[in-house]
Amino acid sequence: MKELLQIKDLYVNFRTLWGIAKVLNGVNLTIHKGEVFGLVGETGCGKSVTALSILRLLPSNAEVSGKILFKGENLLEKSEEEMRKIRGKEISIIFQDPMTSLNPLFKIKDQMIDVIMLHEGLEKERAIEHAKKLLKAVGLPADRVLNSYPHELSGGMRQRVMIAMALSSNPSLLIADEPTTALDVTIQKQILELILDLKNQYNFSVLLITHDLGVVAEVCDRVGVMYAGNIVEITETEELFENPLHPYTKGLLSVVPDPRQKKPLKPLRGSVPSLINPPSGCRFHPRCDHMKDICKKAKPELIEYSSGHFVACHLYGGDLDD
């Protein structure tokens, strides 16, 4: 089986004081074994909500429907106890800011050993050995780091610690939610390279969430572009950059400053829509230069336009022949 994770028609609504926010509007995507799948889009488009849905960590005001098949089993039908076993063991997550996940009051040793003992059922001595091995694998001086408090480490080192902890149970899927956004450029590059190295070594898949197309270009095998709760395009990374189909993707690519050409920034017009009263039909229509009548009425489905290249736009569905 090539597919590790399949998300099918995932809808997530949040009940809020202001009304119902329709945050995911039928997300469909597949992550293959051993690949790095990038999920890209502007802040608030639903990338993190997608990640938290997979782990079933959404807040209690969320209403979820659809299917999330992991190794063929629907995570949305698992009990809380079954999910606890899957989280951290089968699917791990790292976030932008490791400080939110590390306890400032305890040495790294105490935090790592606890996680390893819990997940792996190891004795303390064995857990310490395992922790050292993992810290070395992420390029850290194991003894020194184990005896440090989080604030004694740099941001890059803390993120390496989080990666080591995420890998401690040998997961099949690592979700990395903006893992390098808080780091400076050189450290970013090192962390991304580290994730790639470890992926090749340990053979897990990566769901890499980012708003940075440069990061996508560097590390992702395939990419899903999200806009306002929908996946609007999925394809291989090279194909996305060479032959983007969706007007939103084209817009995103045109705002990426090309360091060689010094192209001026051309921002997309308009702004990300409200998810409480989202635009009808194609949610991108108020910002789209190609908008036709049907775009206001019908939501475009994600179709395979050419081999492995999926797009959700009426320009490619044959609906605009008139």
174 is a site residue for ligand SF4 (CB under 6 A): no
Establish how many alpha carbons lie within 13 A of residue 62's alpha carbon, considering only the half-sphere containing its beta carbon: 17
Q: Which is nearer to ligand SF4, 39 or 315 (CB)?
A: 315
Contact with ligand SF4 (CB under 6 A) among 26, 247, 251, 273: 247
Return the number of the residue (58 or 320) whose C-beta is nearest ligand SF4: 320
Least separation, in Å, of the C-beta of 40 and ligand SF4? 16
| Half-sphere exposure of residue 122: CA atoms within 13 angstroms, side-chain side | 18
Q: Which residue has the tokens 């983007």?
A: 244
Task: Please name every residue paired with 236 in a beta bridge, in sequence order, or none if there are none.
Answer: 222
How far from chain centre, in Å, is Cα 269? 25
Q: Which residues contact residue 27 at a Cβ distance below 8 angstroms, ignoring those fewer than 6 apart?
A: 7, 9, 10, 11, 46, 50, 66, 226, 229, 230, 231
- Work out what residue 48 binds among Mg ion, ligand SF4, none; the CB cut-off runs from 5 to 8 Å by kind: Mg ion
Report the nearest approach of ligand SF4 to the CB of residue 319 (Å): 9
Q: How far is the CB of 151 from ligand SF4 (least distance, A)?
A: 46
Q: Which stretch binds ligand SF4 (CB under 6 A): 131-139, 158-166, 266-274, 282-290?
A: 282-290
Q: Which stretch binds Mg ion (CB under 5 A): 5-13, 16-24, 45-53, 107-115?
A: 45-53
Sheet strands (E) in the chain: 3-16, 19-32, 36-40, 62-70, 73-74, 91-94, 173-177, 205-210, 222-227, 230-236, 303-306, 309-311
**Whole-number minimum distance, CB 292 to Mg ion, in Å?**
32
Determine if 291 is a binding residue for ligand SF4 (CB under 6 A): yes
285 binding ligand SF4? (CB under 6 A): yes
Q: Where are the beta strands (DSSP E) in 149-283?
A: 173-177, 205-210, 222-227, 230-236
Query: Does position 133 bind ligand SF4 by CB under 6 A?
Result: no
Binding segment for ligand SF4 (CB under 6 A), chosen from 118-126, 151-159, 168-176, 307-315, is: 307-315
Question: Is 46 a binder of ligand SF4 (CB under 6 A)?
Answer: no
Nearest to 271 by CA among 232, 226, 227: 227
Q: How far is the CB of 317 from ligand SF4 (least distance, A)?
A: 8
CA 31 vs CA 11, 181, 224: distances in Å: 18, 23, 10
How many chain residues bind Mg ion (CB under 5 A)?
1
Instruction: Single out the residue of 288, 302, 305, 309 in contact with ligand SF4 (rule: CB under 6 A).
Output: 288
Residue 41 binding ligand SF4, by CB under 6 A: no
Decide if 10 contacts 50 (C-beta within 8 A).
yes
Q: Which is nearer to ligand SF4, 171 or 251 (CB)?
A: 251
| Residues in binding contact with ligand SF4, number by CB under 6 A | 12
Task: Please identify which residue in 15, 136, 290, 297 interacts with ligand SF4, judged by CB under 6 A.
Answer: 290
Whether the Cβ atoms of residue 156 and residue 190 lie closer than 8 Å to each other? yes
Residue 205 backbone dihedrals phi, psi, to 5 degrees: -100, 155
**Does residue 48 touch Mg ion according to CB under 5 A?**
yes
Rounded Cα–Cα distance for residues 233 and 249 (Å): 8
Least distance in angstroms from the C-beta of 170 to Mg ion:
26
- Give the binding site for ligand SF4 (CB under 6 A): 247, 282, 284-285, 288, 290-291, 295, 300, 313-315
